[in-house]
Amino acid sequence: MHIFYNNSKVAYQKVGQGQILVFLHGFCEDSTMWADFVPLLSKKYTILTIDLSGFGDSDLLKNKGIAAMADAVLAVLDAEKISSCILIGHSMGGYVSLALAEKRPEILLGLGLFHSHPYKDSQAKIDNRLKTIGFIERHGIAPFAGHFVRNLFPLTFVDNNKPFVEELIHKTSTHHSDAVIAASYAMIERDDRAEVLTNLACPTLFIIGSLDNAISTEHSLKQLSLPNIASVHVLENIGHMGMFEAPVETLEIIVDFIDFCNS
């Protein structure tokens, strides 16, 4: 399925019936990352997974910022006549979710930040993203993919799941360099949205990996006091990809959060 937003295709999948859950993927990912969750959740809920700008089957938006990605997600929700949902974003998808929450908080029954946070990048993070951009401009995405993917997981997971990790590296290497570079700049330039969490009326879910190399412990913990209503889960010995590292536990956390939002 797809719509056109500002003459760019925005691809998405919608399955199931019942309350609507929207899932947004992270950097160098696409909506297929939720593939193991969708069959189980769609037995009871309507699941909407969206390919963000330039990833999966979506075109690269002309306006390449995080706020523009949120506008594209809102365009899908409007096209599907969705007036309320629970929104869960992984990593960069969390940044997009916060931008959407800033624009239209009234549609959210719950907001989930899955290995994500509301703060701007530190200077060290910005410098690292700029190095990544320069590397990809010189060498393309394929040489970058291996280091990037392995760094998302604890070393023990990589060692114990080599075929899966290699498959993920291959998939990452198929993303277009322009999309990866645009997303990198979008994250560098994004606004601080801590105030969005502070003012949010709906419950907020935090899923945090104790061994997450992509999200600093400082940012993970600092955000916890911001919302009025929060459900906090710190996953021990888990990195940045809880949906793969601890699929049963993270799925249970999401189901419990849905119940919490409905209570």
Q: List alpha helices for 82-141, DSSP H.
A: 92-103, 123-139
Entry pTM? 0.97
Distance from C-alpha of 218 to C-alpha of 221, rounded to nearest angstrom? 5
Longest dimension (CA), the chain: 52
Per-residue pLDDT at 56: 97
Per-residue pLDDT at 263: 80
Give CA torsion, residues 137, 130, 195, 10, to 10 deg.
Answer: 0
Query: Tokens 């049963």 map to which residue?
Result: 248
* 3 state DSSP class of 16: strand
Asked if 228 and 80 count as a contact pair (C-beta separation under 8 A), the reply is: no
- pLDDT under 50 in the chain at which residues? none
Asked if 199 and 227 count as a contact pair (C-beta separation under 8 A), the reply is: no
- What does the pLDDT look like over 37-67, one tens digit per residue? 999 999 999 999 999 999 999 999 998 899 9
Closest CA to 165 of 176, 184, 151: 151
Per-residue pLDDT at 64: 85
Distance from C-alpha of 240 to C-alpha of 92, rounded to nearest angstrom? 12
Q: 90: how many CB neighbours lie within 10 A of its CB?
A: 26
Distance from C-alpha of 48 to C-alpha of 111, rounded to nearest angstrom? 14
